[in-house]
Structure 1
Amino acid sequence: MEDQKSEKFYARLKEQLLETGKWPSNYLYKFIVPTDKSKIDGITKIFDNTGAVIESKQSKKGTYTSVSVTVNLKNPDAVIEKYKEVSNIEGVISL
């Protein structure tokens, strides 16, 4: 059931990206992660060697970290592929 929901979500996202952008294009990802070095490093590793600009900022209490990634990608499929890779990291919320 969860797979079906996420496939519908990704299909809709692809459609929106095709309608609103010219490709290749810069894309901004935003993630909220429990402040845990291994999880933040996991996100960073996914975007290694892509020329991505990665910024992170801890919440006031330090419980969570927001991670913003700006990267130039060739098409909506590449955007979705990165979302799927990041979704394998436990506790990450994609905005």
Structure 2
Amino acid sequence: MEILQGNENTNPEEFYKSLKEKLENQHDFPEDYLFKFIIPTDQARLTEIYKVFDGIKFTLGNRESKNGKYTACNVNAFVLDADQVIKIYQEVAKIEGVILL
């Protein structure tokens, strides 16, 4: 798992605790929340990400890098609370090669 925001020295448990506090302070749940990921261009990985959002209302936006090596994946999903956002990030983080933004 690679997380671009925050301190690289923070362990995942501390990161998600801090993220929950920020989400609760900055968002008015339930609401649409924009998830952003970067992955090596691979349809199977995109499909794995989409499966995480099964049962959730969402819209997609994907864009390949100039050389086609990477794909930026944006998922705008209706979430109920900060815990749901964190659960989604944790599930996507299990997918090999995904960078969470």
Q: TM-score category by the smaller chain? A: over 0.9
Matched, 1:72 2:78: yes
Matched, 1:21 2:22: no
Residue 20 of structure 1: CA displacement?
Answer: 0.9
Give 2:63's aligned amino acid.
K
Q: TM-score of the superposition, structure 1-length normalised? A: 0.93
Residue by residue over 1:6-58, the C-alpha shift from the partner in whole angstroms, topping out at 9 and shown as x without a partner, is 01000000000111111101110000000011101100111123111011111
Match of 2:63 among 57, 61, 65: 57
Q: Which protein has greater RCO, CA pairs closer than 8 Å, 6+ apart? A: 2
Give 2:31's aligned amino acid.
S
Q: Which runs of 5+ in 2 are unaligned?
A: 1-9
Q: Which runs of 5+ in 1 are unaligned?
A: none
Runs of 4+ in 1 over 4 A off after TM superposition: none
Higher helix share: 1
Give 1:6's aligned amino acid.
P
Give the paired residue count: 92
Residue identity over aligned pairs, in percent, reads: 41
Give 1:31's aligned amino acid.
F
